[in-house]
Every structure is written in C-alpha cells, then in structure tokens.
C-alpha cells in the first residue's frame, strides 16, 4: 500500500510537467492560448497581399475562436513610415508586423524577441539569430528562358552565362532590379559583382516594369531570356506557357519577408500565438495554396524542382531593404549611365 501511495505522489508531482510538455509538443507553451483568448484581439500590420493575409487570419480565427483579428495592409515602405510615426506619437497599434525592412524596427527597439517553437523548421538563413523574426514566405530570383526559342541544353546554366555575347539583345529584366543587384554583391563580393554587372549592362537589355511583365513578354517571344520569379514561372508553365528556369544557378537569390512581434504589443499573447500560427505547418500550407514559397523544410515544394535541398539558395540580407536607395543609385549608374 505504501508503494502505491508513493507511486501516486510521484505521478502527481510529474503531472504538471507532463501537461506542459504535451502542450509544447503541440507547438504552444502551456497557458498561451488561454492568455491570448483573454486578450481577445490581435492587430497585424503586413505587406502581404490582402487575399493571402485574409486567408491566414480566417484560418487563425477558426482555429482559435474568441480571438478577433484586425488587418492593416500596405507596402513595406508605407508600413515602416506608419509604424515609426505611430511610435513617435505614442500611439503604436500593431501587435504583429511583417515587412522587408524589419531590422530597422529591431534596431529601434520596436520588436520583441519571440523564439517561436516553429523556428526549428526554418534554416538559419531564413530566421533572425537573435530570435526576433522568421520569414513568412520567400521569392526566388531565377534565370528564365522561352522553351520554344531556347532548348534546355542551350539555356543558361548560371548567372555568368548571361554575359555571353550570343545573348546580346535577348535578355529581359525589371528596370528596378535593385534587391537582386544587392544580393549579388552580398553573395559574390563587390569586385566580382561589379565586373558581372558592367558586362551585363553591355548586353542591350530589354527593360520592363515588373517580373510578371518580363515573364509574360518572354513567354510571348519578345526575347528568349529573363530574370524572373520561380513561382510565377511554374504557374505559367502549368497554364501551358513555353517557359522554364535554370535549376543549376549558383546561387538562386531569395527575397525573404520577415514577421515579428511588436515590442509594445497591446495583445502580446495573441501576437505570439498569431506569429506561431502563420509560421506553422498549417499556416504555411495556407500560403502554399496561394502559390507562395515557404521557408519551412517540411512544406512540400510547389513543384519537385523547387525542393530547397536541390537548390543553392542564398537569402538576400533583410538589411538590404534599408539601403535600397544606395543600391538603386549604383544600379542606375551601371545600367542607365548612357
């Protein structure tokens, strides 16, 4: 009998820990959900388009009834200006924020570290080393080509192939390709990158506004090659367009879209819960359904060729967004100096 009492006491003593680890196993610290429901609200500032943002929030509210969400959607530059203005005026309203210039907020102390349990699914280059943010989704810059004009055998395999004289007058690019330009400098070093860009500038580029336009014109036969987005290419391929991209590029440049919890969040528990959710496999699957590329390693790629294990990915430093004026000036001086 004494043995049974001791066993019961021992079970009782470990029960709270068992409950805690069970909750953690589901991805949430014990008590977070209840605390978030008591707050009952969460405000998300994001640069993600309105349809995808609303899809995520609808699933979040369905999963956590009793927590209402509010959305403010704008471009990253507009969001940054609004956040800084609100903070200066002492009326910060955001709980969670998603924008490319996230480190500008981190440096100003406007974010709080939240090492989400979902961080474990993200490679280091897609999350902040100090635990402030992880990428909500990624965009891959790739070498694209028209499959009716260029065979896979003859298509460029790497970035240096673009400066081959045989492609002169046959390449389409976005006229504001500033982030990609900055990424090449970060990846290759300034000397190598500038040598490449000065050579590419002599290739009589077909300039257009936007990667979608570049891809559409390339598919229509206006030019055989272009710098385009991988996810857009795959959508067009699925619709029957004669378009493909090089999987051998070293590297494939990646734009990230960080998400973080605000330092002055009025609903800090709901904010952490929302961040955890949109980074979770469930939340990222919602975005995959909208043709977004996840940074998580356990999300099925949009197509097998986009499996991150098969590609040499290079995340463009999120700090680049803050220096975009400098990079844009350098880009224009190289490509539009004549």
Q: What is the pLDDT of residue 319?
A: 86
Q: Are residues 329 and 199 in the same domain?
A: yes
| Owner of token pair 């999963």 | 63
pLDDT band at 227 (very low <50, low <70, confident <90, very high): very high
Non-local (6+) Cβ contacts of 331 within 8 A are: 177, 178, 181, 197
User: Is 24's pLDDT higher than 50?
Assistant: no
pLDDT band at 32 (very low <50, low <70, confident <90, very high): very high
User: Is 18's pLDDT higher than 50?
Assistant: no
Cβ-contact 94, 44 below 8 angstroms: yes
How far is residue 277's CA from residue 57's CA, in Å, rounded to a whole number?
10
Q: What is the pLDDT of residue 136?
A: 98
Q: How many helices (H) and strands (E) does the chain have?
A: 12, 11
User: Is 7's pLDDT higher than 80?
Assistant: no
249 within some domain: yes
How far is residue 257's CA from residue 274's CA, in Å, rounded to a whole number?
16
Q: Are residues 130 and 149 in the same domain?
A: no
Q: What is the pLDDT of residue 141?
A: 98
Q: Are residues 88 and 211 in the same domain?
A: no
User: Is 260's pLDDT higher than 70?
Assistant: yes
193 within some domain: yes
Instruction: Tally the domains of the chain.
Output: 2
How far is residue 306's CA from residue 22's CA, in Å, rounded to a whole number?
34
Domain, as residue range, for 178: 139-254+313-335
277 within some domain: yes
CB atoms near residue 116 (< 10 Å): 25
72 or 14: whose pLDDT is higher?
72
pLDDT band at 337 (very low <50, low <70, confident <90, very high): confident
pTM reported for the whole predicted model = 0.88
242 within some domain: yes
Q: What is the pLDDT of residue 338?
A: 57
Lowest mean pLDDT among 6-10, 59-63, 279-283: 6-10
What value does the mean pLDDT take over residues 26-38? 81
What value does the mean pLDDT take over residues 42-46? 98
| 220-230: b (≥16 Cβ within 10 Å) or e | eeebbbbbbbb
Q: Are residues 164 and 202 in the same domain?
A: yes
User: Is 273's pLDDT higher than 70?
Assistant: yes
CB atoms near residue 326 (< 10 Å): 12
Q: Are residues 144 and 165 in the same domain?
A: yes
pLDDT digits over 89-125, tens only?
999 999 999 999 999 999 999 999 999 999 999 999 9
Q: What is the pLDDT of residue 27?
A: 52
Average pLDDT, rounded, for the chain: 91
**Rounded to a whole number, what is the largest CA-CA distance in the chain?**
94
Q: Are residues 74 and 212 in the same domain?
A: no
Q: What is the pLDDT of residue 12?
A: 41
What CATH number is associated with residue 182?
3.40.190.10
Q: What is the pLDDT of residue 20?
A: 34
Q: What is the pLDDT of residue 28?
A: 62
Q: Are residues 133 and 215 in the same domain?
A: no
pLDDT band at 318 (very low <50, low <70, confident <90, very high): confident
16 within some domain: no
Q: Are residues 64 and 213 in the same domain?
A: no
What value does the mean pLDDT take over residues 50-58? 97
Q: Are residues 128 and 268 in the same domain?
A: yes
Q: Give CA separation, 167 vs 114, 143, 172, 272, in Å.
A: 48, 13, 11, 50
65 within some domain: yes
Tokens standing for residue 325: 């004026």
Q: Are residues 71 and 44 in the same domain?
A: yes
Q: Are residues 121 and 201 in the same domain?
A: no
308 within some domain: no
19 within some domain: no
pLDDT band at 333 (very low <50, low <70, confident <90, very high): very high
Q: Are residues 109 and 207 in the same domain?
A: no
pLDDT digits over 173-224, tens only?
999 999 999 999 999 999 999 999 999 999 999 999 999 999 999 999 999 9
């Amino acid at each position: 009998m004494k043995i049974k009492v001791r066993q019961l006491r021992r079970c009782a003593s470990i029960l709270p820990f068992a409950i805690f680890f069970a909750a953690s196993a589901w991805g949430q610290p014990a008590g977070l959900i209840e605390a978030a429901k008591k707050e009952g609200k969460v405000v998300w500032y994001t640069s993600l388009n309105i349809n995808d943002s609303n899809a995520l929030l609808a699933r979040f509210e369905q999963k956590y009834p009793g927590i209402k969400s509010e959305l403010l959607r704008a471009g990253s530059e507009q969001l940054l200006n609004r956040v800084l203005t609100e903070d200066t005026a002492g009326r910060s309203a955001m709980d969670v924020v998603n924008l490319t210039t996230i480190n500008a907020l981190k440096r100003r102390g406007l974010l709080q570290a939240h090492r989400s349990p979902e961080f474990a699914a993200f490679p280091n280059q897609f999350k902040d080393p100090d635990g402030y943010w992880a990428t909500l989704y990624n965009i891959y810059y790739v070498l694209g080509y028209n499959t009716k004009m260029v065979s896979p055998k003859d298509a460029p395999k790497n970035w240096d192939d673009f400066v081959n004289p045989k492609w002169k007058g046959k390449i389409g690019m976005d006229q504001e390709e500033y982030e990609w330009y900055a990424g090449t400098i970060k990846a290759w070093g300034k000397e190598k990158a500038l040598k490449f860009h000065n050579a590419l500038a002599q290739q009589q580029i077909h300039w257009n506004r936007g990667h979608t336009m570049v891809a559409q014109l390339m598919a229509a036969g206006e030019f055989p090659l272009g710098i385009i987005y991988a996810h857009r290419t795959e959508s067009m391929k699925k619709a029957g367009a004669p378009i493909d991209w090089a999987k051998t590029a070293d590297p494939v440049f990646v734009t990230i879209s960080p998400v973080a919890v605000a330092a002055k969040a009025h609903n800090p528990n709901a904010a952490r819960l929302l961040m955890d959710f949109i980074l979770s496999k469930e939340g990222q699957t919602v975005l995959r359904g909208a043709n977004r590329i996840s940074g998580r390693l356990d999300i099925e790629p949009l197509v097998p060729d986009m499996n991150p294990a098969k590609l040499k990915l290079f995340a463009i430093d999120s700090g680049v967004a803050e220096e975009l004026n400098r990079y844009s000036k350098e880009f224009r001086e190289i490509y539009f100096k004549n």
